[in-house]
Amino acid sequence: MVILDLWLAVTIMHRISPSEKLFITHGIAQDVRADGRSRLSRRVLRVESGLLSQSHGSSRVSLKVGSTDVLASVKVEVAHGNHENGWVELSVQCAPSVSEKVEGRAQEEMNVELTERMKRLVVVPLAKDDLVIVPNKSVWVVYVDVMVFDSSGNLPDVISMAIYAALRDTLLPSIKLSGDKDDEEHVIQVDSDPASGRRLTLDDWPVDKWFVMDATLEEEVCMSAQISVAIDRHGHVCGMQKNGVGALDLKEMQAMVDVASKSSPDVFNAMAGVFAQQDALDVTRGHVAERSGFLA
């Protein structure tokens, strides 16, 4: 049975001995991983939102046990032209604290791989018609920038949650049109008051899941193949990608999809609790809580 991923094993300069690999793989076979978790157990996540005052939305997601740490920032701008829908621009970059673990050109390849994977599995389902200001004339462009500070495994999963939390924290500014919207000379005025903004629609947002939940860096070194499955809150499959040199038969693949579908509500419910706390704070204060600033 293939139960471990192969992705960071290609790029991260993390070495373990053959005996350590044997210990890890045998432990997984017995459903007792090196840190005491079962195969499908996750580490506890720490989710913070509204950290960057200069952004329209932001979040920081990290693992309480381990060093995986990701910051996501969202900025929105108005684009003019014959655009049917708005769109999302996404970029993932690794900080020097991660880069020092990476060999040569592997850092650049790692950034490209992470960016393209998030575009395929995460950004595509965003309701782009929600970004239309004036059809075929003016739309919102959403810029999502992700910075990876460190990784102790399970990096794509944490990145997808950071993007989700940052977009959930994003407020689209209120728009005022001067003149007729059908007039070519109409002027768009963007309200700078965050209290007048509205949130993005994220009902069909998918989150990456793994057959072996939340793999550590040592476990990733042992893996032979990986499958990423994007699942929305309703348990529907939104995307899938396979990486690594190992083969997966249809039964194994179906088992992974089933596990992802069953576990996705737990992830969404946990993050919804964080969002509810922030929303309750906004209601108590009577306005959107002021951003405290990163590292404040």
Q: Is 44 a member of any domain?
A: yes
**Cα separation, 133 vs 220, whole angstroms:** 44
* Crossing angle of the two packed helices 250-285 and 155-169, in degrees rounded to 10: 30
Q: Is 1 a member of any domain?
A: no
- Rounded to an integer, the average pLDDT of 48-59 is 88
Q: Is 296 a member of any domain?
A: no
Exposure b/e, 164-183, CB count within 10 A at least 16 = b: bbbbbbbbbbebeeeeeeee
Predicted model pTM:
0.71
Q: Is 2 a member of any domain?
A: no
Whichever domain contains 12, its CATH number is 3.30.230.70
Total domains, the chain: 1
Q: Is 35 a member of any domain?
A: yes
- For residue 288 the two structure tokens come to 């959107």
pLDDT digits (tens, 9 = 90+) for 130-160: 788 888 888 889 999 999 998 887 788 889 8
- Least confident residue range of 31-40, 103-112, 136-145, 153-162: 103-112
- The DSSP string of 251-283 is HHHHHHHHHHHHHHHHHHHHHHHHHHHHHHHHH
Q: Is 61 a member of any domain?
A: yes
Q: Is 111 a member of any domain?
A: yes
Q: Which residues constitute the domain of residue 225? A: 8-285
Number of other residues whose CB lies within 10 A of the CB of residue 243: 17
The answer, yes or no, to whether residue 60 has pLDDT greater than 60, is yes
Q: Is 29 a member of any domain?
A: yes
- Rounded to an integer, the average pLDDT of 18-42 is 83
pLDDT digits (tens, 9 = 90+) for 196-224: 667 776 655 565 544 566 777 777 766 66
- Least confident residue range of 16-20, 179-183, 211-215: 179-183
| DSSP 8-state code for residue 289 | P
